[in-house]
Amino acid sequence: MPVKVLIVDDSGFFRNRIADLLGSDARISVVGTASNGREAIEQVKLLRPDVITMDVEMPEMNGIDALRQIMKFSPVHVIMLSSVTHEGARISMKALEAGAADCIPKDLREWMGSSSAINNQLCDQVVALGKSRRPRVHTSPPSSDKPRSSIRPSPTRHETAVAVPSTVSDRSTFTVSSLRQRGEANAAMRVESSPRRSGTVQRFPDCRVVVIGSSTGGPAALQKILTRLPAAFPYPILLVQHMPKTFTPVFAERLNQQCHITVKEATDGDRLVAGTALLAPGGHQLIIDPRQNDRVKVMPGDERLTYKPSVDISYGSAAKCFGDKVLAVILTGMGSDGTDGARLLKRSGAKVWAQDENSSTIYGMPKSVIEADLADAVLDLDEIGTLLSKQGER
Distance from the Cα of residue 14 to its chain's centroid: 26
Interatomic CA distance for residues 4 and 17, integer angstroms: 17
Catalytic: 149?
no
Catalytic: 294?
no
Catalytic: 154?
no
Do residues 50 and 3 touch, judged by C-beta distance below 8 A? Answer: yes
Which residue among the candidates 50, 324, 337, 356 is catalytic per the annotation? 337
- DSSP string spanning 358-394? TT-SSBSHHHHHHHTT--SEEE-HHHHHHHHHGGGG-
Interatomic CA distance for residues 133 and 122, integer angstroms: 18
Residue 300 belongs to what H/E stretch? Answer: strand 296-300
Do residues 240 and 314 touch, judged by C-beta distance below 8 A? Answer: yes
Do residues 280 and 266 touch, judged by C-beta distance below 8 A? Answer: yes
Which residue among the candidates 9, 214, 242, 294 is catalytic per the annotation? 242
Q: For residue 309, say if its preceding peptide bond is cis, omega within 30 degrees of 0.
A: yes
Which residue among the candidates 215, 310, 314, 360 is catalytic per the annotation? 215
Catalytic residues: 215, 242, 337
